Structure 1
């Protein structure tokens, strides 16, 4: 794998773990809506990285599509405030590693989350000056492979890599025609990657040294 000209990061399971906050947002809304349902951390952790339409099909099979979308919209509105208040767990070495990497590469975040959540994360983590741009699935409801290409076109990237933690991240990287860097500490597993790292510090040190 040749030296990249940029790094595009997944968010959940790659930069932080906010599953407890996400589960809390679902459960608050279910209670407010009079829905007798509770989502556990383990159930939600298994869906990290999925597109929203798939998540709501799994979580709310008893509702029609429009009602699922309505509830999901309320959850995401609630989540904006909760991320500011509760945040999540930044993985060890992420803030320091991003700071080192940003001196050498343009950095991007691309996630299958709802619109606005990446910005909430960036503000919460205090990394605004390190991230050149971000793109969420909720902006255009397109797959990661499509959105990777959008970032490439917008910023003139010729050799980016995508850093993620799930098999789906690897598949979408392949579809976009770019290398996939797998971080094993996240929520998923896969054997299909170009590079693998067990912690963020090792990842940062590798790319800084190129």
Structure 2
């Protein structure tokens, strides 16, 4: 791989694991709305990285589209406070690696989450100083390949790479026409990658030494 000028990171499964917090937000809202339904980690983890439309269709097949959207909006509003209170689990090496990488590359976060969730994560983790920009699926409801291109155009990136943990991340990265960096410790698996890392420290060392 040639040396990039920027690293665009997926969030869930790449930088942190907040599945328990996400599941709790669903259950709080279901309880408040009198919906007899419980979401646990086992149900939600395989959906990490999915676009919101697919998540709500899978989790709530019994409701019509508008009802799903209404519930999902309530869940995401509740997450804004829950992330601040509960946070998640940062993967080993992330907090140490991001400051070092930011000295050499522009860093971005691009996720299939709702609008505002990336900002909540950045604030909770106190990493704002290292992140140049972020974009979420909930900003425009467009797929990752479109949003990767948005960041490329906005910041005039010449040789970015996308770092993610699922086959879907790889597919979207290929559609955007840039290299895909796969991290194996997250929620998915794929053999279609340009380079693979089993931990964030190895990723950090690789890009620092390019």
Q: Normalized against structure 1, the TM-score is what?
A: 1.00
**Structure 1 unmatched runs, 5+:** none
CA deviations on 1:167-204 (whole Å, 9 max, x unpaired) are: 00000000000000000000000010000000000000
User: SS in structure 2 opposite 1:62?
Assistant: coil
Q: Map 1:148-187 onto structure 2 (within 5 A).
A: 148-187=148-187
Displacement of 1:42 in angstroms is 1.1
How many Å separate the matches in 1 of 2:69 and 2:196? 36
Q: Does 1:202 align with 2:202?
A: yes
Displacement of 1:40 in angstroms is 1.1
Corresponding residue for residue 88 of structure 1: 88
Corresponding residue for residue 42 of structure 2: 42
CA deviations on 1:140-165 (whole Å, 9 max, x unpaired) are: 00000000000000000011000000
User: SS in structure 1 opposite 2:161?
Assistant: strand
Corresponding residue for residue 99 of structure 1: 99
User: SS in structure 1 opposite 2:153?
Assistant: helix
Corresponding residue for residue 54 of structure 2: 54
- Provide the alpha-carbon RMSD of the alignment: 0.4
Q: Does 1:28 align with 2:28?
A: yes
Q: Does 1:76 align with 2:76?
A: yes
Displacement of 1:110 in angstroms is 0.2
How many Å separate the matches in 2 of 1:28 and 1:191? 37
User: SS in structure 1 opposite 2:47?
Assistant: coil
Displacement of 1:83 in angstroms is 0.1
What is the number of equivalent residue pairs in this alignment? 210
Which aligned segments of 4 or more residues in structure 1 are displaced greater than 3 angstroms? none
Q: Normalized against structure 2, the TM-score is what?
A: 1.00
User: SS in structure 1 opposite 2:34?
Assistant: coil
Displacement of 1:91 in angstroms is 0.4
How many Å separate the matches in 1 of 2:206 and 2:189? 21
Corresponding residue for residue 124 of structure 2: 124
